[in-house]
Amino acid sequence: MKGGTKAHTGGRSAGEFSWPVRVYYEDTDLGGVVYYANYLRFMERARTEWLRAAGVDQTRLLAEHGLLFVIVGCELAYLRPARFDDLLDVSVVPTAKGRSRFTVEQEVRRGAEVLVTGRVSAACIDAASFRPRGMPASVRELLERRVDVD
């Protein structure tokens, strides 16, 4: 895979990408658990690495096509807390793709224990106008290998 990134499947399905995240002191709240909003950051890192592993270079997408991906919706369920120094696995499972958007299911795990689940939808937009635009064919083809089309 590109850029030295690699999918960590941890015994899960072959189509699932996951990325390791260590919990640092700065990620925790007064109670010593991960602050709820930081799970969104962890999920963002995993999605970025999933795109990179799929061959999607977001810097080139902006420079060559004037396009960005933005989050247009997300829903999270917090099941169990993570704590300082925990090693987490954040998964990305693509579930749908359209001309200008895609959706992924994500989980944050500590070993086999699921801590947070989420569904995140992203849209491709024009960087100047912030209006939706279709993804270039090259990007759609790269994601096609990873996403079941609705």
Domain-embedded: residue 34: yes
149 lies in a domain? no
Domains identified in the chain, total number = 1
What is the CATH classification number for the domain harbouring 69?
Answer: 3.10.129.10
- When pLDDT is cut at 50, 70 and 90, the band that residue 3 belongs to is very low
Please pick, among 27, 29, 57, 148, the residue that the annotation labels catalytic.
29
Annotated catalytic residue 29: yes
Q: Is residue 150 part of a domain?
A: no
Q: Is residue 132 part of a domain?
A: yes
Residue 78 forms part of a structural domain: yes
- Distance set, CA 22 to CA 73, 85, 137 (Å): 26, 6, 36
Pairing state between β 87-97 and 101-110: antiparallel
Tell me the C-alpha distance between 143 and 137, whole Å: 10
Q: Over the stretch 20-50, which tens digit does the pLDDT of each residue have?
A: 999 999 999 999 999 999 999 999 999 999 9
Query: What's the average model confidence in pLDDT over 73-92?
Result: 98
- For residue 74, being part of any structural domain is answered with yes
The parent domain of residue 8 ranges over 2-144
